Amino acid sequence: MNLARRGDELIVTAGGHRRVLALPAALARRRVRDAALTGGRLRVRFESGGPDE
């Protein structure tokens, strides 16, 4: 699995599949801490802290 950022979007590539996800403003300002694809579910965790906290 590969993650990339483009502006307010998170681009997820896994195998031959690619998805572009629009992030809400509160998450678009944060860095991705980690991500896992387990049982067909994608879990993305973001760094805590920032202008909203």
pLDDT per residue of the chain (53 residues) written in tens, 0 to 9: 899 999 999 999 988 999 999 999 999 989 999 999 899 899 999 998 765 55
Contacts of 22 (CB under 8 A, 6+ apart): 8, 9
Cβ–Cβ under 8 Å, residues 43 and 36: yes
Cβ–Cβ under 8 Å, residues 13 and 20: no
Identify the pLDDT of residue 40.
85
pTM comes to: 0.77
Residue with tokens 């993650």: 3
